[in-house]
Chain A
Amino acid sequence: MRVAKDPGNDRDQVLVQMVNQYQGLLLRMCYIQLHDMELAKDAVQETFLKAYKKLDSFRGECSEKNWLIQIGMNTCRDMQRSAWFRHHDRRITPEDLPLAISPPENDGDLDVMCDVMQLPPKLREVILLYYWQNMNVNEIAQALGITHSTVSFRLKSARKKLHDVLERRLGYGRNQR
């Protein structure tokens, strides 16, 4: 759904629609990046605030969802650079994850989640966008503000690490569910 360029919507209404539609996605994405639910909420709030301010300059060159993901990723990067963030231990265990509504079918799910969250930030970003959000290389390059070749290079590294994680935690590849 494209709402940002709809001239019939006023800005406040557009924002409310964006929040309703994408808040869940952005909260999960920011949580995976920041490992902290309160920080993730702050990042999402900041993302929507930036989007609201930039609504007029959104040219529709990418989908609204990808535009918000781009802003959200940059916001998380800014927060990761802050002194406060860096001075705290960000390791995460399955017990730290928010209690799931749909119980994991496999004990390994939460371990995979933690392993993905512990990957180096640059690899984690491309995994989230490529594997979780199904974005293609061009879209990822646009969202992260990096070149097509850099995305391909990072995907190559990420692909191997991710497959190792899935295989180790879920017996995936050897004994598929």
Chain B
Amino acid sequence: MDEIKDKQAVQQVIDRSLSGIQDDSWMAQRVLNMAHQTQEGGKMVVKKKISTGFALMMAVVLLGATALAATLLWQDAGEKLAPMESENGYYDTWNTEAKIELVRTLYDLGEMKDNSDAEKVLNSTDMTDADKNALCDSIMSAYVKGSPDTVTLLSLLEKLHGDMSTWSMEDKIWYNQLLAANGMLTTEDTNYVLPQAEQITQEQAIDAARSFLLGMGGENLKNAQIEATMYEETDDCFYGETQVSQKGRCVWSVIFHQENETYQVDIGTDSNIIGYSLPELSALFVRGTLPDDTAIPETEAMTIGTKALSSQDELSNVKAFFGFIDLADEAAAHAKLGKRVWVIITEQHYALVSSAGDVLFVGDCD
């Protein structure tokens, strides 16, 4: 094989085939806006020194009123903005009149107080339609700290109420209802629900998830940011031999974000574990689940797997997980979507062992 010619061929094919990919002219500005926003979030601005006791007292008094006002503000905004997106599509395709209406809505909500550009676009009688359109884009881009194509109902609500991952269950359900009421709820949107009286609570789901992960030899995740939501599955979905969703089933999804790692446990409403995700399994595109009756026992899988790995590794810290392939590589017999496997894993290598006990694959963990 002539490596130099292969290189030239690949370079020419990629450069020619993808010559239509255009740079995004807003990229640098958007990244800078996001970076500065993050930095501002980390700073503490102190205008005036007051005593801790006074501050605490004021906080207690103001907390209720502020929370109520904030709730009304962002949900009011949502009620006004959703029909606009429903009727006109995404912001960047709107006509000038609709864009001005959006600026007016936010201005009336007090979000653009003292914004001279907003006042200009709302009150001017001598600007052209094109100038007003461009000024609206500039105002909205600055508001969401992005480009016009990032102005959406969700980005505006997140601007008003924080990142969606930090919303309460009730907030997410309200958002779903808002989408449904405006004909924008799709089958890809998660159908958030609240637990019924006989179902486990959010706190119980988090405890169950934490205990399960500890039992799997994981960390206690005490400093993790937790996102726990219940949703109802909307269809029956199968990956080959594995059913991954069941229409009408309610599931608690408990996600722990710790440093750069994500751990997830899906729990049924009676505390049964449906599935889980650990960084070491995700890296192998395997989703954890509990072994069924047709799978060989863990001890047997461990024996088969360690034997397969013995030529590769010193075999320290060997762990066994059961799961299914959730990112197919159809060219590889061991990686068919939904295939149920035991994963026998060390720090360096892993072996995939089928439910019946056949060694399917031995590879490195990189």
Contact = CB atoms under 8 A, between A and B. Distances in A.
B335 to A, nearest CB: 8
18 contacts: A23-B23, A27-B21, A44-B27, A49-B31, A86-B285, A98-B21, A100-B16, A100-B19, A100-B20, A101-B19, A112-B17, A113-B17, A119-B331, A131-B7, A146-B364, A159-B1, A172-B5, A173-B1
Contacts of B24: 23, 27, 41, 44
A168 B299 CA distance: 46
A176 B5 contact: yes
B18 interface: yes
A146 B283 CA distance: 13
The 4 closest A-B CB pairs, nearest first, are: A146-B366, A131-B10, A113-B17, A98-B20
Interface stretch (A1-9, A13-21, A61-69): A13-21
Interface in B1-45: 1-3, 5-7, 9-21, 23-24, 27-28, 30-32, 34-35, 38
Contact of B23 (A24, A110, A127, A145): A24
Contacts of A23: 23-24, 27
A135 to B, nearest CB: 11
A15 B331 CA distance: 40
B17 A12 contact: no
Contacts of A120: 329, 331-332
Interface residues of B, number: 39
B366 A147 contact: yes
Given A28-B21, A100-B17, A116 B10 contact: yes
B326 interface: yes
Contact of B18 (A53, A103, A113): A113
Given A16-B28, A113-B18, A132 B10 contact: yes
Contact residues on A (Cβ < 8 Å of other chain), bracket: 35 or more
Interface of B: 1-3, 5-7, 9-21, 23-24, 27-28, 30-32, 34-35, 38, 282-283, 285, 326-327, 329, 331-332, 364, 366
Given A109-B17, A132-B10, 4 more contacts: A52-B35, A104-B13, A130-B7, A159-B1
Interface string A125-148: 001001110100000000011110
Contacts of A170: 9
Given A49-B34, A120-B329, A176-B5, A28 B10 contact: no
Given A53-B35, A81-B283, A134-B7, A19 B16 contact: no
A163 interface: yes
B150 to A, nearest CB: 10
A170 B13 CA distance: 10
A131 B11 contact: yes
A99 B20 CA distance: 5
A81 B282 contact: yes
Contacts of A31: 18, 21
A28 B14 contact: yes
Interface in A64-111: 80-81, 86, 97-105, 109-110
A127 B9 CA distance: 12
A97 B19 CA distance: 10
Contacts of A32: 14, 18
Contacts of B13: 104, 109, 112-113, 116
Contacts of B12: 109
Contacts of A131: 6-7, 10-11
Given A100-B16, A146-B366, A176-B5, A15 B32 contact: yes
B331 to A, nearest CB: 6
A101 B22 CA distance: 10
A6 B197 CA distance: 62
B366 A49 contact: no
B19 to A, nearest CB: 4
A44 B327 CA distance: 22
A94 B78 CA distance: 41
